[in-house]
Chains A and B, each alone.
Chain A
Amino acid sequence: MKKTFKIAFIILLCLGTIAISALYISQHTIDVLDPQGMIGQKEKELIITASLLMLIVVIPVFALTWFFAWKYRASREARHDPDWEHNYIAEYCWWGVPIIIIVILGIATWKSSHELNPFKPIENGVKPITIQVVSLDWKWLFIYPEQGIASINFLQFPEKTPINFAITSDAPMNSFWIPKLGGQIYAMPGMRSKLHLIANETGSFRGSSTNISGKGFAGMVFTAKSSTQEEFNQWVALVKQSPKQLTMQEYQNLAKQSENNPVEFFQLQQSDLFDRILMKYMMPSHE
């Protein structure tokens, strides 16, 4: 009787935990599982497919472990074969089945690595927008070379338009991640990495750095806003009237260490700023 009570209690506890977790998940947005962009959408599908495939091995492992541990426990006096240590068929099975699953997963990996290669431009017939990203100590600088504007810790772009990010760092390495839109890529000093994302909907998404870059790292949070093309044009026009001018000199001030920066907007005066930042690491000396 006591044992039944114990088991019932454990089952209730598990169910309760699952219920609470389900409640929590249903009431909150899980960015990676609720993407607003094509890339994020495909990455989510990949995560789910792969997990299901692996369950083919994981479920038998769990089931067999618990079943054997229960069935062959000493007090049950089940059949005992102390010298049974080898069986070709069984061993072929658990070398073979996982190999087949890995082959399937491997093919999926090869395909998805090419399809979702962050360096590969998105083609949907719409002219892409270029945004240059520089990670600084400890903030994000976004440069719009075509629009002639720049901003700190805030970026806006039109929906359904491919975004070509060119990313570098003028600080220790960071990683540029907007989970609602899709995967991340490192921002490295002296190197230009690329990321191609697209937003299917309008909305404001949280972005951040995932790679430790020093004291103010936790504050490297930015908002990525997807809006209609008109709203975007209005926003650009507004920023163009900003009193702040981003010149090389102003950039030197901006690059100094600061934490939890507020959002700032600039007119871009130095149109080749990104390349200059990139190239300064190529020179024999700088600063």
Chain B
Amino acid sequence: MLGRLTLEAFKHDWIEYLAGISMVLGGLFIVILITYLGRWKWLWKEWITSVDHKKIGIMYLIYSFLMLAKGLVDAAMMRAQQAVAVGESMGYLTSEHYQQIFTAHGVTMIFFVAMGVMFGLINLILPLQIGARDVAFPFLNNLSFWFFASGGMFVIVSLVIGVYSGAGWSGYTPLSGIKYNPGVGVDYWLWSIQISGVGTLLSGINFIVTILKMRCPGMTLMKMPIFVWATFVTMILVVFAFPILNAATAMLFTDRLFDTHIFTAEYGGNPMMYINLFWAWGHPEVYILILPAFGIFSEIVPVFSHKKLFGYTSMVWALVAIAFLSFIVWLHHFFTMGAGPNVNAFFGIMTMVIAVPTGVKIFNWIFTMFRGHLELKTPMYWFLGFIFLFTIGGLSGVLMSIPAADFQVHNSLFLIAHFHNVIIGGVVFGFFAGYTYWFPKFTGFKLNETLGKYAFWCWVIGFLLAFMPLYLLGFMGASRRLDHYDVAEWQPLFLVAGVGTLVILAGVGFQVLQVLVSIKQRKENRDTNGDPWNGRTLEWSTASPPPFYNFAFVPEVHERDAFWVMKHSKIKEKAIRKYEDIHMPKNTAMGFYIGFFSFLFGFGVIWAMYWLVALSFIAMIACVILHLYQKHPDYHVPADEVKMIERKQNP
């Protein structure tokens, strides 16, 4: 009945118990809080079943920030272990537990924090920027979120029931095969990626269609804001790359369950093929994360420089070039596999070529500041920090793209420093900038500036302390993923890195405080006209927070920076227009149900409870069929109601 789930699965060491218990208590606390406030119905009707892109966006953000907390705890635990586990001392974690932590850290941060915040911001802003009332497929959007959420739950549940994978976030075969990892850990990892991957793919399709079909009249492709362009290119990458990941992990799954021997070393399998496939997804994935961040900076720099974006066309072509090149560089993740000098050199040179369009983007941002009128608000701080850190990360990246140089730093802590350098300095700073910039749009008030700047300084200084020593450690011969090391000279550097992590945690503390203080001071920081930063794009032309239908009148666009032009055009078209009925999608619970059953499905496979697999699969299909038979998935908001809402917002 319970498959391979026995009491054994609940036995852990005390640190794991601590983690498990805190997760359970955290969950219970939330449940009790909602019950106490009597908000279950509200939560169900207004949020869980919502197809409103803005609400889905906020759910993505909240979910990702919770996962971020978990990922940060993982990071702190790793730093603590490496600060003490030298020579005779084995540290406070067993090697197996340590390996689970770095695997979970990677999966959490990439799949459930970076991807989550990315989809959160895209959901919140993109439809507003193109003057649309929702995405092309609102139900699919809700479903994507619940796939994503149920994928993330596997990482959490494994803290209590069973263990997580210890084979690294990339799960290289043959280590992740059944021969070396017969337990449930790898299966948890596999299904967390598999299910959230399906959600991501659906989102990708959804946003491509949204951008191609839902733009307001007059917004031609070359008049779209750069964030929309960045999202468009990113989603094309998603659609091409994620099927590779899903297919690779599906083949690994059949290897593990049905002995298909695709990625085993025996019986004609080839484990190196998995590594190729993983990175054929993995490298575009890097750009899936960074391009939206580039898009965000392309919005922020012009607004806070009070100047048009420099070189719009260059920006677009740079995005497209990066996207194209990102598919022909994957081998640089394993030059050390020994593919031969011609192959290695080709992939190395292609990698370097990416530095050209990336550099162009950076120069275009810098020259957007030239002869501007710079307001150094928190988003601009994140931008300047980004230029500083991302450029260093780019330098170490180009260095590693030279195969012969890479042989000396591959898989060392130098690599760890490099990719945190570009992911924290690039992706995370970009998302923080976007979050600060658009916060008033979805809450109606701005974030506290002072605390935001404190957080910024903590992040930058903490980053330098935490990762510069790792560059050096890599040069000193320290591999990544060590739960213990024998070289006493390394310890001071690991201690400095540990201090850096504490400084970063202080930064996160300031960010939490920032939200609380800003909520308390919301009256002073209220955004009354929907345009707190003197914005340039359409999302600022509607109220903050926008009404559920976004725009009472669909805007018409004639130029780039459409809202800026509207504000400054000499002919003020203040003609009184007649309100019309607005066509909107209805909320639906099917997305939540399908997501929930997909979780049970994965859980059943992991624990070999095949009755559960069958039942939840049937349930999923049934939900889809039920959804298809829904007669009225949409409704009309009467013109009078629109009028009332608009009057209330603009008295």
Contacts and interface: CB of A to CB of B under 8 A. Distances in A.
Contacts of A189: 174, 265, 271
A114 to B, nearest CB: 4
Interface centre among A87, A95, A212, by most chain B C-beta atoms within 10 angstroms, is: A212
Contact of B407 (A29, A118, A180): A118
Contact of A110 (B345, B412, B476): B345
Interface string B380-393: 10001001100110
Contacts of B360: 91, 94-95, 98
Contacts of B175: 172-173, 212-214
A284 interface: yes
Contacts of A85: 307-312
Interface string A84-116: 111100110011001100100110111011111
A186 B337 contact: yes
Nearest to B483: A218
Interface string B14-47: 0000000000000000000000000000000000
B341 A175 contact: no
Interface stretch (A65-73, A231-239, A241-249): A65-73
A180 B475 CA distance: 10
Contact of A185 (B336, B342, B359): B336
Given A85-B308, A94-B363, A98-B356, A72 B479 contact: no
Interface stretch (A51-59, A123-131, A143-151, A262-270): A51-59
Interface in B322-337: 334, 336-337
A28 B476 contact: yes
Interface in B273-329: 305-312, 314
A251 interface: no
B254 interface: no
B345 A113 contact: yes
A192 B407 CA distance: 17
A82 B363 contact: no
B492 A105 contact: no
A9 interface: no
A184 interface: yes
B580 to A, nearest CB: 36
A102 B410 contact: no
A50 B405 contact: yes
Contacts of B487: 206
A82 B308 contact: yes
Interface residues of B, number: 93
Nearest to B369: A68
A47 B399 contact: yes
A177 interface: yes
Given A43-B408, A86-B310, A217 B95 contact: yes
A44 B399 CA distance: 11
A79 interface: yes
B404 A218 contact: no
Contacts of A51: 395, 399
Contacts of A180: 477
B410 A175 contact: yes
A284 B345 contact: no
Contact of B372 (A25, A72, A95): A72
Given A98-B360, A114-B345, A81 B405 contact: no
B374 A74 contact: yes
Interface stretch (B224-232, B346-354, B434-442, B502-510): B346-354
Given A119-B338, A210-B412, A217-B482, 20 more contacts: A24-B493, A28-B476, A46-B405, A55-B395, A74-B375, A80-B372, A80-B373, A82-B373, A84-B370, A85-B310, A105-B352, A109-B403, A172-B175, A184-B410, A189-B265, A210-B480, A212-B99, A212-B168, A212-B175, A217-B99
Interface of A: 24-25, 28-33, 40, 42-44, 46-47, 50-51, 54-55, 57-58, 61-62, 64-65, 68-69, 72-74, 78-87, 90-91, 94-95, 98-99, 102, 105-106, 108-110, 112-120, 171-173, 175, 177, 179-180, 182-186, 188-191, 193-194, 206, 208-219, 221, 281, 284-286
Interface of B: 95-96, 99, 166-168, 172, 174-175, 180, 265-267, 271-272, 305-312, 314, 334, 336-338, 340-342, 344-345, 348-349, 352-353, 355-356, 359-360, 362-364, 366-367, 369-376, 380, 384, 387-388, 391-392, 394-395, 398-399, 401-412, 472, 474-477, 479-487, 489, 492-493
